[in-house]
Amino acid sequence: MKHHSIEQLSEALDAAPLDVALHRRMLEATQAEGDEAGYAAHQIALAAFDMLGPAAAPHDLALALYNLATVYSLKGRAQQAIRWYRHTLAVQPLLAIAHQNLAVLLATEGDSERAEWHRDQAYRLQRVYVEPALGTEQRRLLILNTGKGTGNIPLDTLLSYTTTSRIKYAIDYAREVEDAQLPAYDLVLNAIGDPDIAEPLAERIAHFTQGCGRPVLNPPEAVARTHRHRTPGLLASVPDTLVPRCIRLDAMPASAEDLERQLTEAGIAYPLLMRPVATHGGEKLELFGSIDALWPALAEVGAPCYLTAYHDFRAADGCFRKYRIIYVDRRPYPYHLAISPHWMVHYFSAGMLDAPWKLDEERRFLADPRTALGSLAVEAIDAIGLRLDLDYGGIDFTVMPDGRVLVFEANATMLVHREKPNGPLAHKNPFIDRIAEAFERMQIRTVS
């Protein structure tokens, strides 16, 4: 019997993706090569082919290819998953979930244009995606989200796959008549956490949440209060807090002089930060020291955007620190600390893994925020949670030399994710578990 390499079989399957015999050969080849992910993927594909039977139509057999792609995705093999989702859609272009999953992978790989195309296809085909609880269902959670772009609350870490059935509803694609056709649900989570993205949908979201007859977590009016230019006013009454002044430019100023006038009226001096609306993770965030640098950059980026006063927060040791605390039902839970040599602090670029002392300092913060931050800062953080009045939210901040909290942002879009159990950041997981457990308790209280 002639043996074929994985590469040869891959080429053959690209030409004939529904050839069951080729999948069987690939199963044998991946097992022989010790490719556990490939073996599992083709094993589940063959199980689907057997279940569907040889008489099934090609568009039905696409399910086997979808299963194959999904296993590769779950195993972290993005390129193989992308390849097989494309084969799936070539056979069955109306499979919305394949478009959705492919969009996520392409976005992760940096192909934002094609990701957006597949995301749009997914939600044009289907607005409701139901993920049943894997164990004993305790509740059915309706998740309002937006299919276009980002701005949704990160949920995978927060929600139990065992007890919570998820009903995801892309309300920006849905007509109002579809609201009455939704599956039964016990609780609503408004996951459209970015107020800039929610703003054009404000009337639609409010109409739904006010008329759904179920409790709503993160009601839209609470999210709307967290616009960056509204945060200084929202937190103005909180003692020992420094919230940089911020303006939102909804249109390009008539001239550089007009821009200077607006900044002076807002009390914003240089240096200042510019960022487009509805961006996160420091995307296109820049620091400017003069109108000569700012004006041409603004002309290139365009409106709408935010201009925010910059406060130097370098500590005595020359490092910049950014703390993140998550609020669940208005109570604070420490999540992480990033320490960087650069003013734009990101955990992934701060060199945390290269400096054991940084991880030691993060551990001390997680274990005892009061000692790490000081009593003034902890009391301010507590008060900020009450002022935000979000069921789920968070704050990025640092502590100034005088003990005040310098707020970078405070809103509902804060990311939390678990770390590898045996990885160098595994010390964070018990604190992430506390956040998820608090979110679970809040759901129980809300629906009881």
Residue 384 confidence (pLDDT) above 70: yes
Residue 296 confidence (pLDDT) above 60: yes
Mean pLDDT of 191-205: 94
Q: pLDDT-based confidence at 329, cuts 50/70/90?
A: very high
Q: pLDDT-based confidence at 282, cuts 50/70/90?
A: confident
Q: What is the pLDDT of residue 403?
A: 95
Give the tens place of pLDDT for each residue, 103-126. 989 988 989 899 999 999 999 999
CA 266/CA 261 separation, integer angstroms:
9
* Residue 49, amino acid: F
Residue 376 confidence (pLDDT) above 70: yes
Q: What is the pLDDT of residue 2?
A: 47
Q: What is the pLDDT of residue 148?
A: 73
Give the tens place of pLDDT for each residue, 24-36. 999 999 999 999 9
Adjacency order of strands within the sheet including 405-411: 241-242, 405-411, 392-399, 320-328, 331-340
Q: What is the pLDDT of residue 36?
A: 94
Q: pLDDT-based confidence at 1, cuts 50/70/90?
A: very low
Q: Are the CB atoms for 43 and 27 separated by under 8 Å?
A: yes
CA 67/CA 441 separation, integer angstroms:
34
Residue 150 confidence (pLDDT) above 70: no
CA 416/CA 153 separation, integer angstroms:
10
Give residue for tokens 């010790």.
34
Residue 3 confidence (pLDDT) above 60: no
CA 438/CA 348 separation, integer angstroms:
26
CA 9/CA 391 separation, integer angstroms:
51
CA 317/CA 293 separation, integer angstroms:
30
Mean pLDDT of 37-45: 95
Mean pLDDT of 351-374: 97
Q: What is the pLDDT of residue 161?
A: 85
Give the tens place of pLDDT for each residue, 225-247. 999 999 999 999 999 999 999 99
Q: pLDDT-based confidence at 274, cuts 50/70/90?
A: very high
Q: What is the pLDDT of residue 149?
A: 60
This prediction has a pTM of: 0.88
Give residue for tokens 């979808």.
66
